[in-house]
Chain A
């Protein structure tokens, strides 16, 4: 398959080919090495370094004087596990990730099914539905914050004016609406991803199966339940895995919407707070590590029991 570079020389036999293979290998390594280098330096080594940092007592203010490798200690983990708010924060993260994943895939499925049959302007509608996914997160969270604002936000205006609410609801600053709102926001922002995947899968589904079921008298819900859904399940399994990983680690949306207040402090926001506000690098790393460990365990369990065949 490879591009031969004009084998010159007197020996076109086995030695010639190995020399050429060697040249090809060297060229391949040369081409890939800038990428490998930058990934190693800016992704792999930092992750390994997080592990080291998690076992050190390191403060931001002492950073410039401290050595790269200090005394190792378990204090950070003791501090993290016994600190108030850590366990509830972990629970919040799980609720947020599960709710956000389920809601965005659910809405994406509804959208994919509703837009399945062609109509005039479908391409435009499809493209418009993808906007929340490509729009900058800062602009999206800002406009949501204003829409939900209790003073002059449109949602409370409609709620009190038309829906008969007694008083405006401060959606983003009280429990439990804050957590619900960030989950709805996650649904709004991420359903296009599921919609796109599921639409692609639906386009590949053979029409004859469904036609046969319809001819045999199956109703639309029966066709969906027994013909369409089974074909979509592998895609849904992969989507659930990807969305869960990303939502579980999501920082931007919650930080920008609530700043982690009113019962929405997920672990990633806590990591940021420990790092920037408290300057406690050790504890921040320890929590990042716990986050990663929980994620790896959950993904492994999922992979083993729920979706081995589907994902593989």
Chain B
């Protein structure tokens, strides 16, 4: 992280206490008071924010390893007692339904296939499209960019009705590949946008040199442009994977009637209302749903933060 601009800057919330302030005439001038108050407040805010953002995740993990009956008896306890600590919740939520479980392993496979499929197709389309927009002159280049921006801003709930009707009518609602295509149509615009920006930073002279040496366009793309743009491509892949793994509305519309095809998100949301399944077991399901995303996120945080601002989720 670049601290160049921030280290010496006495910002409002983080006054530079260590810097010799202009000698105060009165001991309790407004300046001194504010500087001290914000100096303390800053830490209060940081700790408060951490609690606010992270507590739900901690609570999720906590409940997933607690025993249900002891949870109901002592709901206020913030750490699991050794006597009640259990991982049987995970066993139950992952096991297939005919073995008395909830079949989340199956849901994970579905989510994985859908998310990976979306990543592969989106990237294939986006690399070609972004290369064209960044490097080639063709009629309608500007219009295409505007169209993609519109797609990025367009809310998915408005697409819910026609897509639901359309896929019901052609009999493909319920197929995983139809869902993958819908996800591709939602993510490809953002992917092209971020990749295009990156391609433009790759100097065209390298490609021109290869062209002079007789390399064709596809060779140039495969041997030069794509390897150079690998960081951007990887961050895009992670970003698209997260969107597809987390997506809920279209999974609900397309797959809800067919339990063996549920994604993890859909499975959790459908089982959440059930009274037969203990909350602790579903909490284990939430951990299973969240963990891959958190791991991916921390593994690639540096890559991703740039991508997140460039193209956010919808909704």
Question: Real complex partners, A and B?
Answer: yes
Residues of A in contact with B (beta carbons under 8 Å apart): 1-6, 21, 24-29, 31-32, 34-36, 38-39, 41-47, 49-50, 53, 58, 60, 63-64, 107, 110-111, 113-118, 122-123, 125-140, 142-147, 151-154, 157-158, 161, 188, 192-193, 196-197, 200, 202-207, 210-211, 214-215, 217, 219-221, 223-225, 228, 242, 245-246, 248-253, 256, 268, 271-272, 275-276, 281, 284-285, 288, 291-292, 295
**B298–A47 CB distance below 8 A:** no
Does the CB pair B131–A43 fall under 8 Å?
no
Q: Of residues 7 to 53 in B, which have CB atoms within 8 Å of A's CB atoms?
A: 7-16, 21-22, 30-31, 34-35, 38, 42, 45-46, 49-50, 52-53
What 3 A-B pairs have minimum CB-CB distances, sorted nearest first? Answer: A224-B12, A28-B138, A249-B155
Query: CA of A140 to CA of B59 in the docked complex: distance in angstroms?
Result: 11
A221 vs B21: C-alpha distance in the bound complex, in angstroms?
Answer: 15
B6/A132 in contact, CB under 8 A:
no
Q: Using known A-B contacts A128-B54, A220-B13, determine if residue A142 contacts B125 with beta carbons closer than 8 Å.
A: no
Q: Are A206 and B49 in touch, CB under 8 angstroms?
A: no
Residue numbers in A under 8 Å from B192 (CB-CB): 35
- Interchain CB contact under 8 A, B128 and A220: no
Q: Are B154 and A47 in contact (CB under 8 A)?
A: yes
B148 contact set on A, CB distance < 8 A: 39
**Apart from A31-B128, A223-B12, A242-B312, 19 more pairs, CB < 8 Å:** A2-B137, A24-B136, A32-B144, A35-B192, A38-B125, A43-B151, A47-B159, A113-B13, A126-B1, A128-B54, A130-B305, A157-B75, A219-B30, A221-B34, A249-B315, A251-B156, A271-B157, A292-B155, A292-B158
Is there contact, CB below 8 Å, between B129 and A32? yes
Q: Which of B3, B59, B161 contacts A118 (CB 8 A)?
A: B3
Chain B 112-161 residues near chain A, CB threshold 8 A: 125-126, 128-129, 131-133, 135-141, 144, 147-148, 151, 153-161
- Does A285 contact B138, Cβ atoms closer than 8 Å? no
- Expressed in whole angstroms, the Cα–Cα distance for A217 and B52 within the complex equals 35
Q: How far is the CB of B63 from chain A (nearest CB, A)?
A: 7
Query: Total contacts A to B, CB within 8 angstroms?
Result: 365
B297 touches A217 (CB 8 A): no
- Inside 8 A of A38's CB, which chain B residues have their CB? 125, 181, 184-185, 188
Shortest CB-to-CB span from A7 to chain B, Å, is 11
Pick the residue among B131, B265, B308, B312 that contacts A136 (CB under 8 A): B265
- Using CB atoms, name the residue of chain B closest to A256: B269
Evaluate contact between A203 and B2: CB separation under 8 angstroms: yes
